[in-house]
Amino acid sequence: MLSREKNELLTRTGPGTPMGTLLRRYWLPAALSLELPEPDGAPVRVRLLGEQLVAFRDSSGRIGLLREFCAHRGASLFFGRNEECGLRCIYHGWKYDASGNCVDMMNEPADLDFQSKIRLSAYPTMELGGLVWTYLGPPEQQPPLPRFAWALVPESHRHVYKTWQECNWLQALEGGIDTSHANILHRRLHPTDARHGIVPSATFVRAGAPRLEVYPHEYGYLYAGVRSLDDEQVYVRTYHYVMPFTQIRPGPLDMVKPHNAGHIWIPMDDENCMVYHWTYSMGAEPLSEEDRLEPGSGREPSEHLPDFRKVRNKDNNYLIDRQAQKTELFSGIVGINNQDNAVQESMGPIVDRTQEHLGPADKAIIIARQMLLDAVDTARAGGDPPGVHGDYEQLHAIVGAYPRDGSWQAAAGGTHQPLAAQV
């Protein structure tokens, strides 16, 4: 449970808000590279932390990210002409380069040199790992681009995509770092279950419930779910929570080939977020075309609308099938991503955390909130929040059976003392 004040503090990200100030200290994904496939192509609207922006790839391939509205009289540059290394407003022909400098005005005499006085808000951009990244914070505090292994492998080994989720960023993130729902919400029902359509005794699930361990690091934490298999072995599944909005986890293919996946949850505004997700091959073998389609994930191309919203969404109750819910799918909703979105969005645009009741299984969420609150304080005091200078290339998640001798900790990349959460 959170107080109303803390819930507001964690969920509001517009300019000037404490959480907005914290998030602006990090590089943020603004778009997929594939949304801007060619020089001088169509610009795209970008909503980021409550700001309305427009992105374009200029003639040289450089990506500009500008305030959406022309400095002259406020017409949208989404309609702009992307030409000769700049985005030109169709209203009076004011043209901006990718740095926001006004480089031409068609409606004023050239000798006036009015244009040299005009600058449009622009944010720096970098492309890496199939994403366009940007930094919305104070220039003097701009850190280097974060290094993630998935972003550094060849394109052949990586798949990235994104989903528009219609709720606050924090409840989407909390859904991602919460592992305890995985074998409940995403569970398939089988004809061999004792009673068709009725979930087998919860005892079955509980018996299998793992011991949850959280190991704090400078960047966030390592999370492990550890199950006893026998006297010799434990079954371990780990992920990393990288402050403030990233998760690195085992991918669906991890059991058959070395492979990791993850999410980045970015506020569009306080009632919408964009969830970037990626998967990559950690071995020599590239991803296959089928890997990229992510079958069963609910992220297949047929599940998305052109604006990255979902075909199954809150307006159609995610096309829940009550008959399937009895006999095939615990949730009745097709697609893992749709299942996650359904429960997270069903809480409302910003869930009222004064009404919640957290238990031990919510440890990861409790600790992440506390880390975010601490980081807000650090940023307020002018310090560097956790992970802004981090190199994450070595971070990886593991899943599998390990001997009870400490070797999973070594494989997971080392641990420290586990952290207790105050429920």
Residues in 321-350 at the binding interface with a copy of itself, rule: CB under 8 A = 322, 325, 330-333, 339, 342-344, 346-348
Query: Does 360 participate in binding a copy of itself (rule CB under 8 A)?
Result: yes
228, 317, 370, 407: which one binds a copy of itself (CB under 8 A): 317
4, 61, 90, 190: which one binds a copy of itself (CB under 8 A): 90
The nearer residue to a copy of itself, 77 or 287, going by C-beta atoms, is 77
CA distance 40 to 83: 5
Tokens of residue 329, six digits: 């799918």
Contacts to a copy of itself from residues 35-74, by CB under 8 A: 40-42, 69, 71-74
The nearer residue to a copy of itself, 260 or 344, going by C-beta atoms, is 344
Name the helix (H) or strand (E) containing 180: none
Helix axes 336-346, 169-177, angle to 10 degrees: 130
What is the residue whose two structure tokens read 């998305």? 304
87, 351, 398, 421: which one binds a copy of itself (CB under 8 A): 351
Query: Does 79 participate in binding a copy of itself (rule CB under 8 A)?
Result: yes
The nearer residue to a copy of itself, 167 or 266, going by C-beta atoms, is 167
CA distance 96 to 89: 8
Got the DSSP string for 342-388? HHHHHT-SS--GGG----GGGHHHHHHHHHHHHHHHHHHTT-PPTTT
Closest contact distance (angstroms) between CB of 304 and a copy of itself is: 19
134, 163, 168, 180: which one binds a copy of itself (CB under 8 A): 180
The nearer residue to a copy of itself, 298 or 390, going by C-beta atoms, is 298
The nearer residue to a copy of itself, 203 or 422, going by C-beta atoms, is 203
Per-residue contact flags (x/-) with a copy of itself for residues 109 to 148, judged by CB under 8 A:
xx-x-x--xx------------------------------
What DSSP designation does 410 have?
Answer: H
Torsion of CA 12, 167, 254, 257, to 10 degrees: -100
The nearer residue to a copy of itself, 348 or 403, going by C-beta atoms, is 348
Closest contact distance (angstroms) between CB of 206 and a copy of itself is: 5
Residue among 226, 161, 144 nearest 392 (CA)? 144
| Size of residue set near a copy of itself by CB under 8 A | 73
107, 141, 142, 228: which one binds a copy of itself (CB under 8 A): 107
CA distance 286 to 155: 9
14, 60, 190, 209: which one binds a copy of itself (CB under 8 A): 209
Contacts to a copy of itself from residues 361-390, by CB under 8 A: 361-362
Got the DSSP string for 243-312? TTTEEEEE-TTTTTS-EEEEEEEEEEETTEEEEEEEEEE-SSSPPPHHHHH-TTTT-SGGGB-TTS-BSS
With contacts defined by CB under 8 A, name the span among 25-33, 173-181, 257-265, 404-412 that binds a copy of itself.
173-181
Tokens of residue 395, six digits: 């971070």
